[in-house]
Amino acid sequence: MSQFRKLPKRSEKGLLTPDNCMLAMVDLQGQMLFGVSNFDRQTIINNNVMLAKAAKVFGVPTIISTVETKSFSGNTWPQVLSIFPDHTPIERSSMNAWDDEKFVAAVKKIDRKKIVLSGLWTETCVTLPTIQAIHDGYEVYVVEDCCGDVSQLNHDNAMKRVIQAGAKPVSALSTMLEWQRDWAMRDTYDAVMDIVKTHCGAYGVGVEYAYTMVHGAPPTNLPEWFPLEPAIHS
């Protein structure tokens, strides 16, 4: 959970800053994604990867938690684990992470009262810890486009419930831009633009276009991709 770099202080006044919040990513597992039908599943993966990368860029402490990995849900998506290779997901049996002593202890250890939360499914593994964390004095920011549920009705009702409880709905992009706040803050500018070009669709294409066609910058040079070699089985 070490900070990526020492960053200039952002103004707070009710906003998220890299040094006043933490990120909790809950149950981003294969079986949980199978059941999602209200959002495009690949988009949910993309948005969570964007959020995780942003947290790493800004040094936001991050917790990953899983439920019933072996018996039902499967492992955390490798796309997320690759961003935090030193993180061991906190395994739970409870659908409600706030019922798990290890999870709550990890939150308390970070000692920040603002929790940015993403997870599956919205109606249970997001809603239940959100409501109880708010009850215990935390502010929770639910990253809606990083969540998903078995139906649009279930997701919508869950979002209504957490908002009524006091949670703030945000998106992965809005969270990253709130952490950045000022384009003059060059410490994180290039990393944010790299995330935008990789994960933000038309916005990212527009950034690439402006860089190359308006400002005369060289095109983005991505590393060459090589197909995996066949596995050798003994």
pLDDT tens per residue, range 97-123: 999 999 999 999 999 999 999 999 999
The helix/strand/coil state of 42 is helix
Report the distance separating Cα 234 and Cα 203, nearest Å.
47
State the burial class of residue 81 (Cβ atoms within 10 Å of its Cβ: 0-12, 13-18, 19+).
middle
- Decide if pLDDT at 8 tops 90: no
Residue 233 — very low, low, confident or very high, per pLDDT cuts 50/70/90?
confident
* Selection from 148, 146, 145, 143 nearest residue 167 by Cα: 143
Output the pLDDT for position 1.
38
The helix/strand/coil state of 226 is coil
- Decide if pLDDT at 3 tops 90: no
Asked whether the CA dihedral 145, 22, 91, 108 is positive or negative, the reply is negative
In percent, the amount of the chain with pLDDT more than 90 equals 93
* Selection from 114, 200, 95, 105 nearest residue 158 by Cα: 95
Instruction: Read off the pLDDT of each residue in 56-62 and give the average, rounded to a whole number.
Output: 97
- Decide if pLDDT at 124 tops 80: yes
Report the distance separating Cα 172 and Cα 153, nearest Å.
22
> What does the CA dihedral 90, 92, 94, 99 come to, rounded to 10 degrees?
-50
Is residue 95 within 8 A of residue 129, CB to CB? The reply is no
Tokens of 223: 């590393």
Task: List the alpha helices (DSSP H) in the chain.
Answer: 30-34, 41-58, 78-81, 101-110, 127-135, 152-165, 172-180, 186-199, 201-209
